[in-house]
Chain A
């Protein structure tokens, strides 16, 4: 981008309605210094609120979390911090429940992200056709985005209910029998993935659709001149053009699945929900953190969980980066 900021008149003084020559030289110098200060300071003043607020409520707590993780802090006496060193970390790393939560978060992340993005890709392709009432379809598909996690989780909790739930009734109707959705190790994760998929597919669809509409039609014309079928065009023109967008949605969905909280908490609700199921079968890292810190009241280990999440995120980012690089290399 061309970023030459326009310069002001001559010598920083401003040719305004008032004739500058009418001003005394001293006054003119003072004014020009004022203008220069205005120009120098304004950009910093405009971006300052963001950095101040992020610093106070984002960065500082993030670092402070690491400090708390080395202490014993209890919910009942927040002022008291006792140094315990690495104890909190060794406590959670030796806790089977922690590793269950790591595995659950990972599994739910994969089974919610992959089908979601594939469906979004297909839907975006359909919406990219010339359609009657295209805005209507887009709005309908986006509606779940306007629904809160809490509402969605509670409705789906009823849909997935073990005896007489909507889904089981339908499955029974076609002769597939009952599943105790919240109890099973796979079925409960699938149930949570369904909630996530329901809420976010439409949103990702629109992002893909926007990217598809930005693909220059020359490419399609050239492809069809070469005799490419519609599927080949989708495969060889659309998908490569969308690669950065797809990578981006993968990153965002990965970060999002690290944060899954409302869905597991409310699937069964109450104490069971706070433990992520009777056998922690759908407990995610966020639920584990919440349970340790807010239900059991031990904030030290909860802070250690937060830093473990940070480590996992960095790990995923590194993998993403490596994969992205190798994808780019093979493409080149």
Chain B
């Protein structure tokens, strides 16, 4: 369930301004944000605070457990404030599970998949949004249909293929199958449908630009805000991916999530060390989240739904 809703068009700043005269402005006749005229009462704040604490507490407790000894973690009552063992635990986890290598691997995988996804999905999204060609509707339907195919259905032959090519246990086996995403194609298409006016393309053509030139100088600049959002969503998703990497990569060459799974599967795992590993694997994304949280929220909401 890692996709955003394919029902609407990103509704981002400047979109309606840029819309071509031929395309009627979509919702401008309605005031948006219905229901927003009511102020939230104390109950709303109370309920949100409860849910907020519920959302953050497990993360906080990861920190608590990662900074204690195993005995303290398993004690009853369990500890609620961090102890003093954080750095020694982090160090042990780092060495035991080769987390340094795992972080580097995860970064390589996430960065290359994100870059490829952005490139391929923007191209395909532009073609589906603004170019006319035979079979466009049917091909787009196929793209959307692939959204519903879970990876579980193809892992067995995928594993055999990878062993044929000699990629078993290699990062390539994790990178190549996910170089594109149907969600990405759909997301970019929806955005460009509204954000890229035909006049701009026409102007480029009149100036004598070929198709690649138009993509480079006109489509990419217009697509940039959506690419930022798609990039962040893809990065988060690949960073956290578990199922296929767990099957494809061994203990010698893991990504963070795989290393974490193996750390906890080891003989009798030390829980405080496991939590230290969980902390290391989560922290980079939490930092990204603190910095870009607003944009990610906006991105998920813009990728979502119209009635």
- Where the two chains meet, the residues of A that have a C-beta atom closer than 8 Å to any C-beta of B are 1-6, 8-9, 14-18, 35, 38-40, 42-44, 46-47, 49-51, 53-54, 57-62, 64-65, 68, 73, 78, 119, 122-123, 125-131, 135, 137-152, 154-159, 161, 163-166, 169, 198, 200-203, 206-207, 209-220, 230, 233, 238, 241-245, 248-249, 251-253, 255-259, 261-262, 265-266, 269-270, 273, 285-286, 289-290, 293-294, 299, 302-303, 306-307, 309-310, 313, 317
CB neighbours of A310 from chain B (8 A) = 153
Interchain residue pairs A-B with the least CB separation, the first 10? A256-B1, A16-B208, A164-B76, A61-B154, A129-B40, A217-B34, A216-B30, A57-B177, A148-B240, A139-B293
**Given A2-B22, A54-B146, residue A198 in contact with residue B156 (CB < 8 A):** no
CB neighbours of A198 from chain B (8 A) = 54-55, 58
Closest to B279 in A: A151
CB neighbours of A39 from chain B (8 A) = 211
CB distance from B70 to the nearest CB of A (A): 11
Q: List 13 A-B contacts (CB under 8 A).
A: A38-B210, A39-B211, A43-B133, A47-B185, A49-B120, A50-B182, A61-B161, A123-B51, A141-B55, A146-B282, A148-B257, A148-B285, A317-B148
CB neighbours of B293 from chain A (8 A) = 135, 139, 142
CB neighbours of B40 from chain A (8 A) = 126, 129-131
State in angstroms the CA–CA spacing of A207 and B297 once bound together. Answer: 10
B171 touches A (CB below 8 Å)? no
Contact of B123 among A49, A217, A262, A309 (CB under 8 A): A49
Q: Which of B36-67 contact A (CB under 8 A)?
A: 36-41, 44-45, 47-48, 51-52, 54-56, 58-59, 61-62, 65
B195 touches A (CB below 8 Å)? no
CB distance from A64 to the nearest CB of B (A): 4
A244 contacts B307, C-beta separation under 8 Å = yes
- Interface size of B in residues (CB-CB distance below 8 Å): 130
A54 contacts B182, C-beta separation under 8 Å = yes
Chain B interface SS verdict (over half): helix
A212 contacts B35, C-beta separation under 8 Å = yes
**Given A126-B48, A245-B5, residue A290 in contact with residue B208 (CB < 8 A):** no
Q: Which of B111-165 contact A (CB under 8 A)?
A: 120-121, 123-124, 126-128, 130-133, 136, 139, 142-143, 146, 148-161, 163-164
- Where the two chains meet, the residues of B that have a C-beta atom closer than 8 Å to any C-beta of A are 1-8, 11, 20, 22-23, 27, 30-41, 44-45, 47-48, 51-52, 54-56, 58-59, 61-62, 65, 73-78, 120-121, 123-124, 126-128, 130-133, 136, 139, 142-143, 146, 148-161, 163-164, 176-177, 179-180, 182, 185, 193, 198, 201-202, 205-208, 210-212, 215, 236, 239-240, 242-243, 246-247, 256-257, 260-261, 264-265, 269, 271, 274-275, 278, 281-282, 285-286, 288-289, 293-294, 296-297, 300-302, 304-307
Other 13 A-B pairs with CB < 8 A, given A123-B47, A126-B44:
A43-B131, A51-B139, A54-B182, A68-B157, A141-B52, A150-B242, A155-B62, A155-B275, A157-B264, A210-B302, A248-B5, A261-B152, A262-B243
Contact of A252 among B1, B73, B247, B297 (CB under 8 A): B1
